[in-house]
A = this chain, B = another copy of it.
Amino acid sequence: MALIVQKFGGTSVGDTQKIINAAKRIVAAKRKGSEIVVVVSAMGKTTDQLIHMAKEITKIPSSREMDMLVSTGEQISAALLAMAIHELGEGAISLTGAQVGITTDSIHTKARILDICPTKISEELNLGKIVIVTGFQGVNLKNDITTLGRGGSDTTAVAIAAALKADLCEIYTDVDGVYTADPRIVKNAKKLNEITHEEMLELASLGAKVLHARSVEFANKYDVPLCVRSSFNNSEGTYIVKEANVMEHPVIRGITTDKSEAKITLIKVPDTPGIAAKLFNKLAEYNVNIDMIIQNVSEQGHTDISFTMHRAEMPRLKNILDELLKTVNAKRYSINENIAKLSVVGIGMRSHSGVAAQMFSSLAKANVNISMISTSEIKISCVINGKDSDKATQVLHEEFQLDKLS
């Protein structure tokens, strides 16, 4: 009997009617003869509502208590989904991360899974039940509730699939699969049937919200067969596969447009050895996640250091800005919250040179200014002005002929 892990995201369980629809899909899969484990996110806006209440009480909520608070969202949807499955005549049981034995480290609000004990899930599966697990959460070794950060339910699903050696992990969401670009920006964006783990990883970490990056790492590491598909239709979705399984390698597979970041520049930093290390150690100490980093050429013994980070990290950063300035002896800082990060991704880049040149000259022709660049083996990212981002995405989609892919 096949064992399938199905993950339903927040929009797929957004209200009681959608929960009933998800239940129908789950029960249909079970009646086709599979064992089913479901991982569920919080209903639509629940998490945001909970965070809003916390903000009414305090500007900087304790992260332990935030986890206690927001973890209730998945518990609610899991219980309701179990009821909806019962109503359709199948056995089902909802379990929290703690009850399943999902152990994490203690970095509240962005914990990492250390271990999953599959015993409880297996016991309930053996009783013929559909097992529903709250996504996004676990407990640390002190038995405090932890959460894995936004999108962490994907990671829960893949980690459970790995622990149970599942035959497939299906991520149900509100889009049909992975596209060559955001279809709201690029009209002729194409859905991809397959994409490699590495490409998906780059896309995910770049803000293509289809899959959480850590879930892709996990899937790659533990060989979990993974696919992304819509919970609102029966279209096939996109399979995330090993590189070896990909028949042909187009140079570029997709473009992402990320408007969620902000850029901080520390101005007139003395250019002494170890100064950058000091800075980023301090940021790490306060659990501020940064993304791109750029250091200008030194002038008269001083330099500027810029970095980008998710805007959600800004309140935490602002609290320690004065300390940061002191740490590196910077004169002052500037913040730009109106930027966009454009990235092109494809494992084909490895064997094709000149992709960066093609990208930059194409943007230059369209009068788009680039303020930061970062590259990896299979990705090139540019930070540009926020207002140019849609135009630039369309220009690159055309330049790399992504409408010809499938």
Stretch from A65-73, A262-270, A382-390 contacting the other chain: A65-73
Enumerate chain B residues within 8 angstroms of A93, measured Cβ to Cβ: 64
**Is B54 within 8 A of A83, CB to CB?**
yes
SS of A interface (majority)? helix
A143 interfacial by beta-carbon distance below 8 Å: yes
Question: When the two chains form their complex, are residues A65 and B82 in contact, meaning their CB atoms are under 8 A apart?
Answer: yes
Stretch of A55-63, A295-303, A334-342 lying at the B interface: A55-63
- CB pair A57–B94 under 8 Å, yes or no, is no
A300-318 with Cβ < 8 A to chain B: none
| CB of A75 within 8 Å of the partner chain | yes
Which residues of the other chain, B, contact A71 by a CB distance below 8 angstroms?
75
Which chain B residues border A54 with CB–CB below 8 Å?
79-80, 83
Q: Is A20 an interface residue (CB 8 A)?
A: yes
Contact A57 B72, CB 8 Å, known A99-B143, A143-B99? no
Q: Are B65 and A69 in contact (CB under 8 A)?
A: no
Q: Which residue of B lies closest to A70 (CB)?
A: B79
Q: Say how far A133's CB is from chain B's closest CB, in angstroms.
A: 12
In the complex, are the beta carbons of A16 and B57 less than 8 A apart?
Answer: yes
- Taking CB atoms, residues of chain B closer than 8 Å to A87 are 57-58
Instruction: Assess whether A203 is interfacial by the CB under 8 Å rule.
Output: no
Chain A interface residue count, CB cutoff 8 Å, equals 37
Contact of A247 with B by CB under 8 A: no
**Which chain B residue has the least Cβ–Cβ distance from A98?**
B98
**Does chain B have a CB within 8 A of A201?**
no
- CB-contact partner of A68 in B53, B69, B86, B94, under 8 A: B94
Q: Is A186's CB within 8 Å of the partner chain B?
A: no
Whether A168 is near chain B, meaning CB under 8 Å from some CB there, is no
Known: A19-B57, A50-B76, A58-B86. 14 other contacts (CB 8 A): A16-B53, A16-B56, A20-B57, A54-B79, A54-B83, A57-B80, A57-B83, A57-B84, A61-B86, A65-B80, A65-B83, A65-B94, A72-B72, A75-B75
Return the 10 tightest CB-CB contacts between A and B, nearest first.
A69-B79, A72-B72, A68-B79, A16-B56, A58-B87, A65-B79, A65-B82, A61-B83, A57-B83, A58-B83
Interface residues of A (CB under 8 A from B): 16-17, 19-20, 50, 53-54, 56-58, 61-62, 64-66, 68-69, 71-72, 75-76, 78-80, 82-84, 86-87, 93-94, 96, 98-99, 143-145
Q: What are 25 pairs between A and B in contact, CB < 8 Å?
A: A17-B56, A50-B76, A53-B76, A54-B79, A54-B80, A57-B83, A57-B84, A57-B87, A58-B83, A61-B83, A62-B82, A62-B83, A65-B79, A65-B80, A65-B82, A65-B94, A66-B79, A68-B78, A68-B82, A68-B96, A69-B80, A69-B83, A72-B75, A75-B75, A99-B144
